Chains A and B, each alone.
Chain A
Amino acid sequence: GNSVTQMEGPVTLSEEAFLTINCTYTATGYPSLFWYVQYPGEGLQLLLKATKADDKGSNKGFEATYRKETTSFHLEKGSVQVSDSAVYFCALSGVGETSGSRLTFGEGTQLTVNP
């Protein structure tokens, strides 16, 4: 079955530091890949996505590249801000006639950015 593995957290950085959160996946076929973010007290929000190999998703200074050869989708940001403090989830979606776009999530990585 499908699965997603994220680097263990939590991650604590100083403002303006470089961020990498690793994500690898196991899936049949060609899944689409996502990063979701959950800010304190808020619901899950889509951060970025990529639907095929070598695609790069980007949003709010975050980037992730769909690497089929390494089955990875690592999240990066060049300079984090205090407002980026949140829990980040890597997820994938497979294609199925009956499953719609059900998402399989990783365990989440708590990011704390200190001023």
Chain B
Amino acid sequence: GAGVSQTPSNKVTEKGKYVELRCDPISGHTALYWYRQSLGQGPEFLIYFQGTGAADDSGLPNDRFFAVRPEGSVSTLKIQRTERGDSAVYLCASSLYPYILDEQFFGPGTRLTVL
């Protein structure tokens, strides 16, 4: 079956602009995670959804970042007033259930560049 997909694969924007990044999880997966990976670093947790609700958004760096998952499937990460420091690869992952033994399946990521 299809894996986790993310669109766009690349996004170039100007400082101060608004961007939306989309994640399509594996069908039926209830848990969805967003991570951010800066160059040369490991992924850092941003937010976790269980179903439609954000169960843990403690990793969002500030209030310019927020994410939604209105129907418990597709999720959108939204960044307002982008800054150059937001440039990174944004990764989405999903798992069937939010348990440790459930493997997280990662998408290919969206590379965001803020000029």
Contact = CB atoms under 8 A, between A and B. Distances in A.
B108 A43 contact: yes
Given A101-B99, A107-B40, A42 B108 contact: yes
Given A43-B107, A43-B109, A99-B55, A105 B42 contact: yes
Q: Is the interface of B mostly helix, strand, loop or mixed?
A: loop
B55 A43 contact: no
Interface stretch (B10-18, B44-52, B60-68, B80-88): B44-52
B72 interface: no
A104 B45 contact: yes
A108 B41 contact: yes
B44 to A, nearest CB: 7
Contacts of A102: 33, 45, 48, 56, 59
Interface stretch (A64-72, A77-85, A88-96): A88-96
Interface residues of B, number: 31
Contacts, number: 72
Contact of A101 (B31, B40, B91, B107): B31
A101 B56 contact: no
Contacts of A108: 40-42
A105 B91 CA distance: 13
A108 B35 CA distance: 15
